[in-house]
Structure formats: structure tokens, C-alpha cells
Amino acid sequence: MKTRVRFAPSPTGFLHIGSSRTALFNWLYARHCGGEFILRIEDTDLERSKQEFLDEILDSLKWLGLDWDGELTLQSKRLDIYRKCAKQLLDKGLAYEAEGEIKDKDGNISKDSKRITQKAIIFKVLQGKMIRINDLVHGAIDIDSSTIKDQVMIKSDGFPTYNFACVIDDADMGITHVIRGDDHISNTPKQLIFYDALGIKPPEFGHVPLILGKDRSRMSKRHGATSIREYRQAGYLPEAMVNFISLLGWAPGENKEVLPLSEIVKEFDIKNVKPVNAVFDIEKLNWMNGQYINALDDNKLLGMLAPELRSRGWMKDDTDKDWLLKVVHLFKERSRTLVDFFEWSSYVFEEEIKFDNEAVNKRLKKDKSLEILNNSVKLFFGVDAKDFNSLVLEAACRKLAEEMNVKAADIIHPVRVAVSGRMMGPSLFELLGVLGKDKVIKRLEAAKKLV
């Protein structure tokens, strides 16, 4: 049978890291096996389900490159099917009806006249039966049915419960493997009871351990952004996000980390997912994202940066593209995110620079600093504008260091702070070439006054 997996989010919030990993692992397994990845929206919680959340979930999946097969399925369009299946079990004497009251989210009796008021349909769970889950990640898990109470299938408002609807949907859709988080392990034996009662062969189950922060607590805001939308806005690349998330609980051979998607698909197998909680390390994500940014073609990266460059007024129709490409090349190595690029490079585009107090005190408030700046002005003034490039400038600075009987670093450090306001940055000589002769001399003169 062709492998068929599904991702079934509820549109009650944005797509977060945990859910995106579930989606990714399902997608990877489907593509690895040459199977199908189905998308089902579990939207029966009318009070919490919102169109904006559904739109964001779909947009985030598309951004990550997780395309799905076939049409999108909405549980809210299948209510008659769930009721029909529940009625079959009721008619067989495997379930019973019970009076119920429709309650709202605050626990009060609901006054929503749009809902269907009826008796709840409840499945009778046979006691003393051992239920086994042959989990693809954890191995065999046994549960005594005596620990499971009778299961509601259709609530008094006419809507199905999660465990019942899930079974009907997976059976109808021909799902062969259910890959989801560890928090669903307690749901699986309840679902297996329904499969057995309906005479349906259950799919295989694989429960993926939780994602924890570096402090080993549940993933939360304090460990970094939690929704894919936030990472996208912060300047992370989809390729880097997919690569990073794939390694949260799974690893390829040979300790490889930066992998193209095609190789991840080739090597991924749900049976190789580790049965221990994964740790989310934002520093590792930043490093990996930086690797992807640095590997981008300068033209492609400029295209990605262009909307924000224009928004800030740093790029206009008459801006020299060759110069912009030099700036992109110069700063992309230090940029861990696209947002980082703008923070690192701001002083290249802006006329007035902001001096870091520590940089001024450590690099400019020193003996010989004023002399070094004076001599640097004279040095750069003597270089022809058309020769104002890294090779010429580096040779000139090193010659000046010899003449002043100081180390090259004694000139490099104060000049860097003078032209950028910072102690750290890209190669000084390449930076000077990008800034150009006029701007460099102007900033050196301003720094002299500051000293």
C-alpha cells in the first residue's frame, strides 16, 4: 500500500515550532517513501478556530516548502459522516446515549441557538483488555483498558470528539502512518478501541518526543520566538529552518548538519527518530541560518534585502547596483539573519554614525590616537579615489605603521571606530573601499573632534 501520512493542525493559533516539526517529519517520510502528504484541518472548535490562523498555517507551510497532495480537508464539512459512524456503533449496542448540556468556554450553559442540541453518543469501553501500541519511535507500549473511561464520540452539541473524528478521517483518507507528538500517546489507545469496534485496520503510529529549551523546560517564548511567522519576520531563511527543525530528534549519518533538502529526504526515516526529547538551541539555529545566508549568491541575497533597503531609503532607483553588491558581499558573512544585515551595515548607508561608548573609550581615548587619526587623514587624502581599494589601502596603512613605529593593529583599531563607530565589523580595508574616499576622510575628521 502506498504510504499516506497527514498533518492535521487546528486553526486556533499560529504554526509553532513543535507543530512545524510534526508537519516536516510527515512530509519527509512521505517524500522519502514516494508516498503522499495529506493536509487536514481540524476546525470543529468553533469558538477558537479562526480564518486568520488557518491562513497563517497554510502560508507558513508554503514558506517552508511543505507542499501537500490533494485537496485540503476540513473536519467542519464532515459532521454528518461522524454522526453516521457513531450511530452505527450505537445500533450495534456498542455505545449509548446520554443527556448533556452545551456549555461555552467559561463553563456556562450555551445560548448559541445555531448549535444542534441532542443526546451525546458515548462508546462503552470494555474493561480488562490489554491494548498494545507498536510505536515506530518508542517500541511496544501496553495500556490496560481499565484505565480508560467510556469515550464520548458525539457531544451534545452535535460535534465529534477529537479521538473519534480522527479515526474516521484517517480511515477514510487511507492514512497508513500517523506521525505526531508524544503528547498524543495517551490518545492512541482510545483511538485503537474505535478502530477495533469499526472493524478497520489501524495505521502504524510513531510518536515524536517533545522539544525542550536549553534549560530542559518546555519550549516557550523565553527560548526564542515560537511561531514560524515570527522566525520569518526575524529574517530566517526557510531552507535553514527546515534543515534545523529536521535535526530536532533526528540525525543523518556521519554527524552531518548543513544538508540540502534532497539529502534530508533521501536519508530520513521515522524509525530513526530518537526516543528522547530534543533540545532547541537558538544559537545553533542562528549559526545554521548564517551558513545559508553566506552561501547565497550576492544577487539573490540583494533581491531578498531590496524591499527593506528601499523601505529604509537606503536603496533608490539610481543607487549603484555594483556598489550594493559589494556591501552585500561584505556584510553577509557576519549576518546570522536578514535583520542582522541591516544592523551590521547601517553605518554604510547612513550619513551620521552612532559611536559605541566602549569603542570610543577603548580605541580612541588612548595615547597617539589623535596622531594616528591625523596621519590617517593625510594618508587617505593622498590616495587617488580610483585607487581607493582594499589592496592599496592595506599596503598604505602597514607602511604608515612602520613609519610611526607602531603595530598595524594600533592604526586599524582607531580607524575602524572612527569610520563605523564600532569595535567589530568586516575587513577594515574592504570596508574603507566600500565607504569611499570622501566619506572615510569626513568620518576621520569628525572622530578627531570627538577625541
Q: Any idea which residues carry the catalytic annotation? A: 221
Nearest-angstrom CA–CA distance, 326 and 332: 10
Q: Would you say 40 and 173 are in contact if contact means Cβ atoms under 8 Å apart?
A: yes
SS3 205: strand
**DSSP calls for 20-67:** HHHHHHHHHHHHHHT-EEEEEE----TTT--HHHHHHHHHHHHHHT--
What are the cell numbers at 280? Answer: 532547541
Distance CA 451, CA 448 (A): 5
Residues 6+ away with beta carbon under 8 Å from 24: 64, 66, 242, 245, 246
Question: Which element (helix H / strand E) includes 366?
Answer: none
Backbone angles phi, psi at 151, to 5 degrees: -105, 125
- What cell does 40 get? 487536514
C-alpha–C-alpha distance, residues 180 and 136, integer Å: 11
Q: Which three cell numbers mark 106?
A: 467559561
d(CA 347, CA 330): 13
Cβ neighbours of residue 225 closer than 8 Å, sequence gap 6 or more: 231, 234
Nearest to 28 by CA among 14, 7, 9: 7
